[in-house]
Structure 1
């Protein structure tokens, strides 16, 4: 059972008058006896000590938005700690930390990846498999493609959180150089070195210049 606090008369506040050179001031503060409740529990529960709540663990399910990034958060209203003496429940703030995917580098909703290709695939053209968030997609590599060239796959990135649209996937093709060659491979490459013309002096735009141009920088 509870009774009205005799210190504050049930208001939960105490007033104190102070005099100074400028006159009299009245300050209002929570009652130290009932801690602002206005009532005092005469025989508090031994388990909850009169607060009407106890400590415990509880698991809740969270619906993670598609495309969420590390550092973003969402607020779950009314599922936090219970308030004292039947007070309102607090909120739960869920802060997300997204695990890295070794296949991609992320910039907002855009993803960047690198795919290794062979010399014949670059020179003659080919269809290669490119990783996406779920599964793979086929990328058509035209003949005479340069190592380091970037292809842009629209809409193959991550969804925008709380908005329409999806980011892009930027695929950089990188020439794969074998560490060891068989006898036949060595002979063919040596023969190719004899008949292939040397690298032209004017290589045109470099990789970063092409990247800036493609991205509109």
Structure 2
């Protein structure tokens, strides 16, 4: 009722508890009677002399309630869900309000979302990128294999069908893009450094010490063959 329990509501002195008042107006046509909702009690017929200390006269009490919210597939961050009539009860017996739920999607450090698509990044060594390899990657549904072909370049992307996010409320999923990064070692052993220097000379068209050694051995072998003839 909005009243203090020790002092229940009383009949409205303006309407006598009827909730309405009759107004009489004199016009040139005579008296006009008009029935109107009582402005003092707002049509309830009762008035509160002592307001309830808990609800402050609003007739509402704060309570925690558990509400079941159905979250559709494919929902994105900051999406607002609308639940009609799941909000607070209306004042003075009015209809309940609506509940709006803002959804915050927890970030997964493995993936970046782009609408229905997902992006993940993998690091390859020089030999893996040059020679090719097979990687065991983790998607949102579990592990899967991805074949990296020889000659893969930095920043190159591979598309995995059906490993992305479905549209809101839908079932057909987007794709997962796997972007390749090349890991450059910061420290090399003398042997590793020699291997890379040999590779660099070979790529530039020069001969490595091993290639010169092999070439000299081949020439000596051919000379021996000619002598025997």
- TM-superposed deviation, 1:4: 5.9
**Cross-structure match for 1:6:** 14
Contact 1:73 1:96 in 2 (8 A): yes
Residue correspondence of structure 1 range 52-71 to structure 2 within 5 A:
52-71=59-78
**Cross-structure match for 1:98:** 105
Q: SS where residue 114 of structure 1 aligns?
A: strand
Change over 3 Å in CA distance of 1:76–1:14 after alignment to 2: farther
Contact 2:19 2:38 in 1 (8 A): no
- TM-score between both structures, scaled by the size of structure 2: 0.67
Question: 1:5 & 1:116 partners in 2: Cα distance?
Answer: 82
**Cross-structure match for 2:46:** 40
Question: 2:48 & 2:111 partners in 1: Cα distance?
Answer: 63
**Cross-structure match for 1:143:** 150
- 1:186 and 2:193 correspond: yes
User: Which segments of 5 or more consecutive residues in structure 1 lack a partner in the other structure?
Assistant: 18-28, 199-217
Contact 2:12 2:40 in 1 (8 A): no
Q: SS where residue 79 of structure 1 aligns?
A: coil
Contact 1:41 1:50 in 2 (8 A): no
Question: 2:22 & 2:53 partners in 1: Cα distance?
Answer: 28
Question: 1:197 & 1:31 partners in 2: Cα distance?
Answer: 99
Question: 1:75 & 1:14 partners in 2: Cα distance?
Answer: 43
**Cross-structure match for 2:83:** 76
Q: How many residues align?
A: 184
2:118 to 108, 111, 115: 111
Q: SS where residue 102 of structure 1 aligns?
A: coil
Contact 1:5 1:38 in 2 (8 A): no
- 1:172 and 2:168 correspond: no
Change over 3 Å in CA distance of 1:37–1:80 after alignment to 2: farther
The answer to which structure has the higher helix fraction is 2
Question: 2:85 & 2:158 partners in 1: Cα distance?
Answer: 47
- TM-superposed deviation, 1:195: 0.9
RMSD over aligned Cα, in angstroms?
3.2
Change over 3 Å in CA distance of 1:42–1:176 after alignment to 2: closer
Contact 1:74 1:95 in 2 (8 A): yes
User: Which segments of 5 or more consecutive residues in structure 2 lack a partner in the other structure?
Assistant: 1-8, 26-35, 206-229
